Amino acid sequence: MAVSWLLGACAAPHTVRTVGKGKTALNVSVGGPLFSNLLPGMPVPNIAVGAQYGITDAWDVHTNFHALPAVYRNLALDTGVTRRLLQQQKGKWWPELTLTLRLNMITSFKAFRLYPELHGYASYLLKRRWLVYLGLTTFYDFFWEKGNHFRMHWGPTLGCDVRFAKRYSVGLSFRWISPQEDTSRLTLEWASPGRLGWFFIQLSFRVNFSAWGGAS
C-alpha cells in the first residue's frame, strides 16, 4: 500500500456532524496509524489543520492541510462534503446519521495522486456535552503499488468528543483500516491487533462557532 495515503488520511473524523447553516468550525488533529519499529504503539506524528463550513443545516464543506508530508517536500490536502441524512431528536433513541465524501490529494510537484474516501457515521449526543459515534470508512486506492491495480480498503471508526466552554471540544478516535489484511511482512512494522491492517489513534481539538447539530 502507498504510504502517502496513510499520511494523507490522518485527519480526525470531525465531519461526524454538520455545523449548521452559515456556521464555521476550526479543527486540529494529531496522530495517525501506529507503528512499532522504534517504540511499541507509536503513532505516525501527523498534524492536520482544517475548517468546516455549513452551506445549509444539512450540507457542509470542509478542507484540511496535512503537515507531515510537507517535511518531505510534498503537499497534502483533503477536501469534501458532508450530508446529514437523519437528525437526532431530543428525547428520541435514534442516532444522527451523516455521510461524507472526501478527496485526499498529495503531490511532490512532479507527480499527483488522488484518493477518494467515503465515510458513514451514526452519532448520539448525550447530556448536550458527550458526542459518541460509530462509523465506517471506505478508501479507494487507484495507485496500488503491486501492478497499479485498484483496491478498496475499509474499516470501522469509534470515537468520542467532549464539549466544554460552549465553543470548544476535544476528541479521541480510533480507526482500523483493512482489518482483514496481513501487514506483518511490510518494511514498517505497523502496530495493529494481530498485525492485521492499520490501526489509527487520533486526538483532536475543535473550535465550533455554533452548537453541535442534532439535539443541542
pLDDT, residue 59, reads 96
Residue 163 within a domain = yes
Which residue range(s) make up the domain with 118? 3-208
* Domain presence at residue 12: yes
Asked if residue 213 is part of any domain, the answer here is: no
Task: State residue 10's pLDDT score.
Answer: 59
Does residue 216 form part of some domain?
Answer: no
Say if 165 falls within a structural domain: yes
pLDDT score for 216:
41
Q: Tens-of-pLDDT digits for all 216 residues of the chain? A: 445 555 555 566 778 999 999 999 999 998 877 666 555 555 567 889 999 999 999 999 999 998 888 887 889 899 999 999 999 988 788 999 999 999 988 888 888 888 899 999 999 999 889 999 999 988 887 766 655 567 788 899 999 999 988 889 999 999 888 888 877 776 666 677 777 778 888 899 999 886 655 444
Answer yes or no: is 215 within a domain.
Answer: no
Identify the pLDDT of residue 151.
Answer: 77
The pTM of this model reads 0.85
pLDDT value at residue 101: 95
- The verdict on residue 107 lying in a domain is yes
Residue 32 lies in a domain: yes
Number of folded domains that form the chain: 1
Task: For residue 76, give every residue at least 6 positions away whose Cβ sits within 8 Å of its Cβ, in sequence order, or none.
Answer: 4, 7, 8, 65, 66, 68, 69, 70, 104, 105, 106, 107
CATH code at position 16 = 2.40.160
The DSSP string of the chain is --HHHHHHT-S--GGGS---TT-EEEEEEEEEEEE-SSSTTEEP--EEEEEEEESSSSEEEEEEEESHHHHTT-EEEEEEEEEEEE---TT--PPEEEEEEEEEEEE-SS-EEEEEEEEEEEEEEETTTEEEEEEEEEEEES--TTTT--EEEEEEEEEEEEEETTTEEEEEEEEEEEEEEE-TTSSS-B--GGGEEEEEEEEEEEEESSPPSS--
Which pLDDT value is given to residue 167? 87
